[in-house]
Amino acid sequence: MLTHLTIQQFLTELAKGSATPGGGSAAGLAGAQGAALLSMVCNLTIGRKKYAEVEESMQAALDRAERLRLRLTELIEEDTRAFDSVMAAYKLPKETPEQKAARSAAIQAGLKEATRTPMETLESCVAVLELAPDVVGKGNPNVISDGGAGVLSAHTGMMIAALNVRINLNAIKDKAFVAEQNARMDALIARGDAAKEAAWDTVAQRLGM
């Protein structure tokens, strides 16, 4: 499993001349890292008398960040599996008209599934970003740079996931599906960008940037 590899082993797998793991798995990792960094800020705020008044909201944020971290970690693996199914479909025989039709249908079905996985990664990264303004605004200022790193990491994960959604949609023939997924992606990116800007403004103010 990818998530059981060392960092060096995972990077080696990314660098290999194969389609998977690729950007989709990297998106999950970036998003999970963003969630982990927000959890760090929460954990270094909770239990300190100085921040007692924000204890409840920071605990709620920690619980949400940890659920997102775990899901995004799962998506590292799921993205690779989803695209492997597309690659398997491309290898199906195409000697007869029937084989060609079956192969085409399998490719299209695989591409749809391979679109849904990075879309969930994108959505989960947006959820991390939407936690960030509250966390960096109320959290321990001594780790505000770590919170800012979490914001940037989650936003990077969001944009990488969007690239993977887009390249799959470009190969899908179902126009209604493509239009629906494009609209969903655009709405999610708008939300993520807004949350990132709100959080980053707080980070910049607290760091005196």
Residue-wise pLDDT for 33-58, tens only, equals: 999 999 999 999 999 999 999 999 99
Q: Looking at residue 18, what is its pLDDT?
A: 82
pLDDT at 73 over 90: yes
Q: Domains, the chain, ranges and CATH?
A: 21-207 (1.20.120.680)
String of DSSP letters for 108-164: HHHHHHHHHHHHHHHHHHHHHHHHHHHHHHHS-GGGHHHHHHHHHHHHHHHHHHHHH
- Whether the predicted model's global pTM rises above the 0.75 cut: yes
| For residues 187-204, average pLDDT | 98
Q: Which of 188, 165, 11 is nearest to 83 (CA)?
A: 165
Confidence at 105, pLDDT banded by 50, 70, 90: very high
Q: Looking at residue 80, what is its pLDDT?
A: 84
pLDDT at 20 over 90: no
Residue-wise pLDDT for 124-181, tens only, equals: 999 999 999 999 999 999 999 999 999 999 999 999 999 999 999 999 999 999 999 9
